[in-house]
Structure 1
Amino acid sequence: MDERRWTKAGVEVSDGQPQVGAVVTDELSDWSVAPVPEWPGRDVTVRVSRAGDALTVRARADAEPWRLVRVAPLDPGAEAAAGPYCCSPSRGGLVVRFTGWRRGPADAALHPEG
């Protein structure tokens, strides 16, 4: 992935409320979101998993069931990197607390065979 091909996923405020979503860029970007007004103040986990030619994004608050956020195509031969990121592009006051970061094999439960 590079400056022309990238994906970001997480929670952001849009239309005045928190939204879980993803931006997928392959020359052009598209954005998908879903409102999560019940998530502020809770521990949110975003899981990105790669298998075959797909990148699967899921998220949850606390120990709730995983919600599918996005499935995006990804060239199986493409090199990819990942890491935490936060920003407040138009004003100050954003407070974000990262409580963990892990990298490992794709979760087989997210990519069932058959």
Structure 2
Amino acid sequence: MQWLNEPPKWSHSGNQIVIKTAPKTDFWHITHYGFIRDSGHFYFDAIATDFTVSVKFRGQYKDLYDQAGLMIRADEKHWIKTGIEYVDGSQHLSAVVTHEYSDWSMTPLVNPPETFQLRVERVGDAIHIASWSEAAGYQLFRMTYLPSLIPLQVGVMCASPEGDGYEVVFEDYCIETSV
């Protein structure tokens, strides 16, 4: 795995990746705010086939827009980030899809689990994003598009757009590829 924007403090041992985010980091592209941010932390593998990636994670979210989860990236103008985003004092299930302009969807988590679990699948040019619940297993909450003819960067991401940083722990990160 390799870094885009390596954080100031991190470790990777066994099935655990622990990251302390740097302040004022984010991924965003133009929409509504008018700015471009490509400074969030992204630890990734390059994948050129269909795949399924999953991870469990927990964070000490405290500041507006603290975020953690998975990222799928073709380049700086075409990417998806999904996971938890801390908004108005609570955790939200979030997905940002960027094709030159970012869009953002989020749903508040009334009773967020201590550890959150995500799965993202690439099937051709379709990206399926699902979250885990004890009651129902994985449930699809977003399907979107990313070009299928290019290798993608796939991995864990986190950022602290407004705050001074926080710690996030990723566990059981797993990528399965199709041949």
The bucket for the TM-score relative to the shorter chain is 0.7 to 0.9
Among candidates 75, 90, 104, match of residue 31 of structure 1? 104
TM-score (norm. length: structure 2): 0.53
User: What do you get for the CA RMSD once the two structures are aligned?
Assistant: 1.9
Question: SS state of the match for residue 130, structure 2?
Answer: strand
**How do residues 13-92 of structure 1 correspond to structure 2 at under 5 angstroms?**
13-40=86-113, 42-61=114-133, 64-92=136-164
Task: Give the letter aligned to residue 53 of structure 1.
Answer: D
Partner of 2:70: none
Among candidates 85, 91, 102, match of residue 12 of structure 1? 85
Partners in 1 of 2:132 and 2:147 — Cα distance? 26
| Alpha-carbon displacement from aligned partner over 1:7-66 (angstroms, at most 9, x marks no partner) | 1000111132110111000011101111113115x2211111000220011112557522
Count, aligned residues: 105
Give unmatched runs, 5+ long, in structure 1: 107-114
Contact 1:54 1:74 in 2 (8 A): yes
Partners in 2 of 1:63 and 1:45 — Cα distance? 13
Which of 1 and 2 has higher RCO (CA within 8 Å, sep 6+)? 2
The percentage of aligned residue pairs carrying the same residue is 34
Task: Answer 1 or 2: which has greater strand percent.
Answer: 2
Question: SS state of the match for residue 85, structure 1?
Answer: strand
- What is the CA distance between 1:92 and its match in structure 2? 2.9
Give unmatched runs, 5+ long, in structure 2: 1-73
TM-score (norm. length: structure 1): 0.80
Partners in 1 of 2:78 and 2:154 — Cα distance? 13
Partners in 1 of 2:135 and 2:172 — Cα distance? 15
